[in-house]
Amino acid sequence: MTSSATSQPLHGVLPVLHTPLTEQGEMDHESLQREIDWAFETGADGVVVAMVSEILRLGDRGRRELVEQVCERVSGRGDIVISVGAESTAGAVDFARHAEDWGASAVMAIPPVATTLGATATCEYFSAIASSVSIPLVVQDASGYVGAAIDLGVYLELLNRFGSQRIFFKPEASPLGPNLSKLRDATDGQARIFEGSGGINLVDCHRRGIVGTMPGTDLLDGIVALWDALQAGDEKRTYALSLPIVAIVALQIQAGLDGFLAIEKYLMQKRGLFRNAHQIQPVAWTLDEETRAEVDRLFALLQAAIE
């Protein structure tokens, strides 16, 4: 259990890992190893365990198992960010300490999803998590598909309390771009912000000053190529890569979290990284044949743009 943290603050492309399952519904450790290896071979700066890792459905034991497996298998190749949000402050703190003990570079948290907290209670929840560990906390607003939006004042207070080396941000509330700019401007550019739209807003958010992105792993080769094009200022390549990514994510986002999970796991199986596309049940949406056919067409366009 050694730390994976790099000497630089969190940055770059940090894909959220998908949790592969066996036919019996257990965690598929062999496929998880393939996924992690492929992520670093493809150019990821680290990996993340978060919402599309199905952590809300894994249960306490499953979440801890996934964290331990990921931290062991990364083997110091990059940063590891672990989502630790929970329905209680004590639960979130426990998950955060567990992640740090296993060598995570940073933790990330959403607010509780079963209740809508006011600004003061939300701030104290995040403060308790940040105070419980020595590694950075990424404050995530996942209200586009789960939980409630976080008030700008909460972001500012957390930054004031802990500083820009300990608090990072992943705002996802709509409208994403303008909200990101408000946070940037309100902190005089101090806030270190990650894009978390799956890639659909990556071009716009990059122009607004993000330090990195946390997409799903399914489109990682396209996202890495797009990030490199944005960093290089290559407008032609930027849009050639961006348009099929945006179209795929538009299909995912129409069904919320289950839409992301179904299409992302389908693509992981299509790539040969996963044995199947099984999700933890129950789910509210499954991939129909017409959507699958459109995903295939768009995926082929993305692969052609990457080459």
pLDDT value of position 142:
83
Q: Report how far residue 85's alpha carbon sits from residue 71's, in angstroms, rounded to the nearest whole number.
A: 18
Contact 180, 205 (CB under 8 A): yes
* Comparison of pLDDT for 305 and 6, the residue scoring more: 305
pLDDT value of position 291:
98
Give the model's confidence band at 292: pLDDT under 50 very low, under 70 low, under 90 confident, else very high.
very high
Give the model's confidence band at 2: pLDDT under 50 very low, under 70 low, under 90 confident, else very high.
very low
**pLDDT single digits (tens) 214-254:** 999 999 999 999 999 999 999 999 999 999 999 999 999 99
CB-facing half-sphere around the CA of 133: CA atoms within 13 A: 29
Q: Report how far residue 95's alpha carbon sits from residue 29's, in angstroms, rounded to the nearest whole number.
A: 21
Give the model's confidence band at 8: pLDDT under 50 very low, under 70 low, under 90 confident, else very high.
confident
Tokens 């080459």 correspond to: 307
Q: Exposed, middle or buried by CB within 10 Å (0-12, 13-18, 19+), for 210? A: buried
Q: Report how far residue 249's alpha carbon sits from residue 123's, in angstroms, rounded to the nearest whole number.
A: 31
**pLDDT single digits (tens) 32-48:** 999 999 999 999 999 99
Nearest to 103 by CA among 169, 47, 55, 20: 47
Global confidence as pTM: 0.95
Point out which residues pair with 212 in neighbouring strands. Answer: 12, 194
Q: Report how far residue 160's alpha carbon sits from residue 181's, in angstroms, rounded to the nearest whole number.
A: 18
Contact 32, 73 (CB under 8 A): yes
Pick the CATH number of 12-218 from 3.20.20.70, 3.40.50.620, 1.10.1740.10, 1.10.10.10: 3.20.20.70
DSSP state at residue 53: G
Pairing state between β 212-213 and 79-83: unpaired
pLDDT value of position 6:
52
pLDDT value of position 148:
77
Q: Whole-number mean pLDDT of the chain?
A: 95
pLDDT value of position 7:
64
Q: Report how far residue 254's alpha carbon sits from residue 261's, in angstroms, rounded to the nearest whole number.
A: 12
Contact 147, 183 (CB under 8 A): no
Nearest to 82 by CA among 161, 123, 1, 136: 136
Give the model's confidence band at 149: pLDDT under 50 very low, under 70 low, under 90 confident, else very high.
confident
CB-facing half-sphere around the CA of 78: CA atoms within 13 A: 21
**pLDDT single digits (tens) 103-113:** 999 999 999 99
- List C-alpha distances in Å: 24 to 21, 28, 68, 233, 278: 8, 10, 21, 47, 10
pLDDT value of position 143:
79
